[in-house]
Amino acid sequence: MTPAVLTASALGLARNESGRRFPHAEDAAALEALRTEVVETLTGDRWDRPWRVYELERMSSVEVEYLVERGLMTPAFAAASGAGRGFAVYGEGEASLEINGDDHLRLLGFRSGGQLSSLWSLLSRLDDRLEMVFSYAFDPRWGYLTARPRHAGTGMRAYATLHLPALTLTGRLAGTALEIAGNGLALVPLWGGAGGMVQVSNLGGQGRSENEILQQISDLSRGIVEKERSVRKMLARENPVQTRDQIGRALGVGQHAWTMSFHEAVNLVSAAQVGIELGLAKVPGMEAQSAFGLMSRLQPAHIVVEYMDGKMGCMESPEIDERRAQVVREIFAAAGVPA
């Protein structure tokens, strides 16, 4: 699949230690003890790359949101509170570990493009090394036991992020979602559906192996990508003026706006990317990066950390929208729609 349509892959593995109650039912002292044991394990010499352990209590809201935006922390974990919670990042962001969230341990991995297989290879190795220290709760019939029963079995949640603006625009996305729901998968909007970004994921972890889940998501995503490309070509063929007009308007707004919300920015980048793929736009500022990578960099915490030196206490500040618009203007400065 072309990375411009299959934009990112993510994987999560939920694990619980046998002999302990799930975090929501366990007492604070036991959770604190487990966190201490996990942190000691992460600082040992069994790892190919070092783990960076974070002190959640001392992190600012911007730092937490930045990790969420990078796909290294789940929104649910970021929003929660409680005893014994811990967090660590492996290497330069190759993977991460949530401690005492919904489950005792949750390994996470995120990559641009179609990288589910490589993510599974990495997380499986990290999981095996953790299992050398911790005795996982496992049942011969139900598999790995998790706080959410439907995730038991493999304990795996796999995600493929797709760029589907044409299917969204034509109203065909709902039918596609119903089709894959019959196969045990979900198709849900990412970022509120801005730019036609959606995620395909498995609903449960029972009845199939990890490799079977990954293969199913890859195969069905490939079919959805082909539908998207077909609809894009149809729109350009049957509505050439309107298609060119929408792309041209997006470039114009991007070149001249002085304040811009994240959702608007994603929509503009999405239109520009479609224009590039259809040969209807030239955007030199996007040549060195993927559209999804650019969209990710336009998220609020990314703007604060990467363009404002992290000096912003309120994530709702209008200064973020102003700085975002400046970034988009710079990227779209030399863009144009060929006659």
d(CA 111, CA 11): 9
The tokens of 136 are what?
Answer: 């996982």
pLDDT of residue 8: 93
pLDDT, tens digit, 9 for 90 and up, residues 165-193: 999 999 999 999 998 998 889 999 999 99
Q: What pairing do the DSSP bridges indicate for beta strands 95-99 and 105-112? A: antiparallel
- Statement: 6-230 belongs to CATH 3.30.590.10: yes
d(CA 268, CA 327): 13
d(CA 168, CA 311): 37
β-partners of residue 95 are 90
pLDDT, tens digit, 9 for 90 and up, residues 263-283: 999 999 999 999 999 999 999
Comparing CA positions, the residue from 104, 106, 81, 84 lying closest to residue 95 is 106
pLDDT of residue 1: 36
pLDDT of residue 260: 97
Q: Got the DSSP string for 56-100? A: GGG--HHHHHHHHHTTSS-HHHHH---TT-EEEEETTTTEEEEES
Comparing CA positions, the residue from 107, 105, 108, 102 lying closest to residue 147 is 102
Asked whether the beta carbons of 220 and 180 are under 8 A apart, the reply is yes
Query: Residue ranges per domain, the chain?
Result: 6-230, 240-332
Asked whether the beta carbons of 118 and 173 are under 8 A apart, the reply is no
Global confidence as pTM: 0.92
pLDDT of residue 312: 64
Comparing CA positions, the residue from 176, 229, 181, 170 lying closest to residue 5 is 229
> Which positions of the chain have pLDDT values less than 50?
1-3
Contacts 24+ apart (CB under 8 A), 29-36: 30/84, 31/82, 31/83, 31/84, 31/85, 31/100, 32/83, 32/84, 33/84, 34/84, 34/99, 34/100, 34/104, 35/84, 35/85, 35/86, 35/99, 35/100
Q: What pairing do the DSSP bridges indicate for beta strands 6-15 and 51-54? A: unpaired
d(CA 46, CA 42): 8
